[in-house]
Every structure is written in structure tokens, then in C-alpha cells.
Amino acid sequence: MMVFTEAPRARAKELMLGARIMVRMRSLRSRFSDRGQSLIETALMLPILLLIAFNAINFGYFFFVAVNLAGAPRAGVQYSIVGSATPLNTMLPKAGPPSDAFSVSFLTYQDMRGALPNSSPARVQVCSKNLGLSGSGGNRRTNCLPFGTGAETFIPAPDPETPTDPNQSPKFFLNRVDVVYQLTPPIPPFELPIPGGPISLVPAPTLRFHRQVSMRAMD
């Protein structure tokens, strides 16, 4: 006569339950491990991602200002040659001051305000025949007058086709307008707080822009 007991079945159920619990615990540990790893990766990559994003904004602003600063001296020197002259009125505009709405420097400063909220810190130098000439023969140059802050001065080149004989006509001169501007990035350096100590991020340095345009004027 054979006798069957419930002990082996109960033992098997306990083993299966224990195995399920261990599998669940391992799954939970894996999830917590993945989350911790993701947090560490995010903390390591965040400064680099912020630096790339902020530099994209700063360099976009730099290119926008550079295009505007390249157009300002071009408009100024063209106005210094043409101005509002007519067959009856051959007077060309004055170099300055910037407070004179009909001067070359005023037009140059106003043209820069398309990209700059304040163009007064810019350095503008106007070289025009209205300021007189220096030198002799083929080395005659237009005199210059600076405006704004700074101490930079620039010497215009003589026109290469100016005749060396003072009695020969026509005579050519080069009018010139220079613009110098110290540009500060819109997003300045800052510190990113992290548990191990703050990280200093410098998105972009301060840049100095210098643009000049020369155009020929005929005497």
C-alpha cells in the first residue's frame, strides 16, 4: 500500500515563490541601477550641452552684429562722397559731430543701431576731403577726425591713381570711415552649481570688431 503526502508539493511551491521574489528583487535593483546611471550621465553631459546651446546663441548674435557693423561704414563713406549734393548745391556733408543730423558720423552711428541697442561706445573715424588734405603729389591723403570712446587712429591710404603732377586733372582722393566696437556676448560667463562644487562656464569671449570702407572722391 503506497501513501502520498503534501510535503513535496508544499516545498516545491515555496521554492517557486522564492524564485519569483528573487527575480523581482533583481528587476528592481536593475531599474534603480539604470536610473542612477542615467542621472550620472545627465550630470556629466549637462555642462557641455549648456555650453553648446549658449555658444550657438552668442555666435549667432556675433554674426548679426558683424554684418551690421560692416554696413555702417559703407553707408557713412558713401554719404561722405555723395551726400545731398545737387548740380546747384555741391557742398558735401561734414564729418561731425555725431549730434549733427546731417553729418557723416551721425549717419554711421544711426546705421549701427540696427543691431546694437546703444552705439555710443563705438569708435568712429571719418576721413574726408572736407577736412583737408595732407601730403604732396601722389601721396596726398584726406585728413581724419575721430569720434566716440577709445584711442584708435587709422591713416588712410593715398589713391593709387592720383596724378603726381599737382597741375594735372582730375585728382582723386580716398574718403574713409572706420568703425571699432567692443562687443560683449549677450550670455555672460556663469557658474553651474553641482554637488562637488560650481563649474565656471565661459560661453564666448568679448570680441573687438574693426571695419573700414574707403571710396574714391574726385576733386
Q: Domain-by-domain residue ranges, the chain?
A: 44-218
3-state secondary structure of 14: helix
Flag whether pLDDT at 214 surpasses 80: yes
pLDDT tens for each residue of 41-90: 777 777 778 778 888 888 888 888 888 888 899 999 999 888 766 565 66
Phi-psi region of 132 (alpha: psi -120 to 50; beta: other; left: phi over 0): left
Q: What is the CA radius of gyration of the chain?
A: 36
pTM equals: 0.70
DSSP code of residue 156? P
Mean pLDDT, all residues of the chain: 78
Q: How confident is the model at residue 114 (pLDDT cuts 50, 70, 90)?
A: confident
C-alpha cell at 57: 546663441
User: Which residue is associated with the grid cell 546731417?
Assistant: 102
Q: Which residue has the higher pLDDT, 170 or 197?
A: 197
Cα–Cα dist 9/14, whole Å: 9
Q: Tell me, what DSSP letter sits at residue 160?
A: T
Query: What local confidence, expressed as pLDDT, does residue 121 receive?
Result: 83
Give yes or no for a contact between 65 and 112, defined as CB atoms under 8 angstroms apart: no
User: DSSP state, 34?
Assistant: H
Identify any residues that bridge with 216 across adjacent strands, giving them in sequence order. 174
Cα 79 from Cα 103, distance rounded (Å): 9
